[in-house]
A = this chain, B = another copy of it.
Amino acid sequence: MARQKKINEKKSDDKRQRILVGAIKVFSTKGFHGSKVSDIAREAGVADGTIYLYFKNKDDILIQLFDESLKVLLNDMRKALSEENDPLKKIRVFIRMHLDSVEKYQSLAEVMQLELRQSSKFMKEHTPKRFTEYLNIISDIIRRGQETEIIRKDMHPAMMKRAIFGAMDEIALGWVLSKQRKRRTYELAECADKLADIFLAGLTLPKQGS
């Protein structure tokens, strides 16, 4: 019976997966509001109703898509960070890895950048736990750095996590849009290092020129 169940799980998981993959394609092509549930169903090769066996509603597809992606990213990120001890180096790794992922999963990134916020309930009611976790990796690093006197203590970690994420995110948005407009002015890999330079300089040195 256990075996039976496992087989079924696999089957269903396959459907769930196909729906998510279909959703990425459809959302990135038509946008969230422009996509019909039946579009996703067709793309995934399932019936409309089937989607509701795996997802609560249309919003939920986007949310789970986001969550799922973050799960992978969180894993990768934690593994990569565990190989580094220096808080400053960790920050550099974080930034580099985040922007690498954007480049690697372009369609997905487009959806995240452009469509995610269109899910009405997303930002307000449902800031997903995992997103908070993801941001908190940054604040944790900073807090650790402050404890070991490596990072300026007057920088509020909750503020810094947003500053760093916001900078990356907006750069990623610019990159995604510039791709759609076929005019690209900067490459993400290069940005990652420069951006890390900026923040590391700012976080370590209490001196400023103005």
> Could you list which residues of chain A lie within 8 angstroms of chain B, going by C-beta atoms?
31, 33-34, 86, 88-89, 92, 114, 117-118, 120, 123-124, 127, 154-156, 158-159, 162-171, 173-174, 177, 180, 185-186, 190-191, 194-210
Interface centre among A166, A173, A190, A195 (most CB of B within 10 A): A166
A33 lies within 8 A of B159 (CB): no
Interface of A is mostly: helix
B202 lies within 8 A of A197 (CB): yes
Q: How far apart sit A155 and B193, CA to CA, in the bound complex (Å)?
A: 10
Q: How far apart sit A109 and B200, CA to CA, in the bound complex (Å)?
A: 30
Q: How far apart sit A118 and B9, CA to CA, in the bound complex (Å)?
A: 36
Given the known interface contacts A164-B167, A167-B162, A171-B159, the answer about A209 and B200 at a Cβ–Cβ threshold of 8 Å is: yes
Residue from B120, B158, B191 in contact with A186 in the complex, judged by beta carbons closer than 8 Å: B158
Given the known interface contacts A114-B123, A208-B201, the answer about A158 and B174 at a Cβ–Cβ threshold of 8 Å is: yes
Residue of B nearest to A163 (CB): B167
Across the interface, which residues of B come within 8 angstroms of A165, CB to CB? 170
Across the interface, which residues of B come within 8 angstroms of A154, CB to CB? 194
B210 lies within 8 A of A92 (CB): yes
Q: How far apart sit A168 and B159, CA to CA, in the bound complex (Å)?
A: 10
Distance in Å: Cβ of A110 to nearest Cβ of chain B: 10
A162 lies within 8 A of B156 (CB): no
Q: How far apart sit A177 and B114, CA to CA, in the bound complex (Å)?
A: 19
Cross-chain pairs A/B with CB under 8 angstroms, 18 sampled: A31-B120, A33-B118, A86-B210, A88-B210, A92-B210, A117-B118, A118-B120, A155-B194, A156-B185, A159-B171, A159-B191, A163-B170, A164-B167, A170-B170, A198-B198, A199-B202, A201-B207, A204-B209
Distance in Å: Cβ of A61 to nearest Cβ of chain B: 17
